[in-house]
Chain A
Amino acid sequence: GQQVMQIPQYQHVQEGEDFTTYCNSSTTLSNIQWYKQRPGGHPVFLIQLVKSGEVKKQKRLTFQFGEAKKNSSLHITATQTTDVGTYFCAGLFNTGTASKLTFGTGTRLQVML
């Protein structure tokens, strides 16, 4: 079955440091999505990447989709305490009847003052 692996599992950074989480799929993806889940909350959609090699930015967040559409990364520049949470990538695999998201294992980010 489809698998999406994500590393690291945990990351502690000092406020102001950068942070990157990496996502890898065993098979080619239709697209990849990123979600953020605050402690105690539900996942919230951040962005979708569709094209091979695509790069998108949202303020301090930079998202990349690999050329082979099998990997992706999320980079946060100069982390802030508001960035705390778990970041999930999710790969979209078309099944013919419904597109199903397979979530990565997530990276829990802790930002220390």
Chain B
Amino acid sequence: SQTIHQWPATLVQPVGSPLSLECTVEGTSNPNLYWYRQAAGRGLQLLFYSVGIGQISSEVPQNLSASRPQDRQFILSSKKLLLSDSGFYLCAWSWESGYTFGSGTRLTVV
């Protein structure tokens, strides 16, 4: 069966520090992968999606970047975090009927 792993679960980082969040999928090949961000009490905003290795599409201009070095690995990064980068980051993969989300990373930038 397909599973999606996301880590870490929580993260507190100082302003200006780098960021790397990793997401891996098991049990499927060539999945479409997505990074979403959810501000506290708000909806989900699509940040990046990828249809294959090295293929990244950005939805909104921001301080973040994404990479897909392997088929089932999706990484969200930043060189220098801003306070406004705080939020709940969710990785997801799509299958024919829906999306499966990882358990998310709660990032607090202080």
Residues in A lying within 8 Å of B, measured CB to CB: 33, 35, 41-45, 48, 88, 90, 97-106, 108
Q: A43-B44, A106-B42 are in contact. List 20 more A-B contacts (CB 8 A).
A: A33-B99, A42-B90, A42-B102, A42-B103, A43-B99, A43-B101, A45-B100, A88-B44, A90-B44, A90-B99, A97-B51, A98-B32, A99-B32, A99-B94, A100-B34, A100-B49, A101-B34, A101-B99, A103-B46, A105-B42
Partner of A43, one of B32, B41, B90: B90
> Count the B residues whose beta carbon is within 8 Å of the partner chain — how many?
23
A48 with B98: in contact, given A97-B51, A97-B57 (CB under 8 Å)? yes
Q: Are A106 and B32 in contact (CB under 8 A)?
A: no
Residues of A within 8 A of B41 (CB): 108
Partner of A98, one of B44, B57, B104: B57
Partner of B46, one of A33, A35, A43, A101: A101
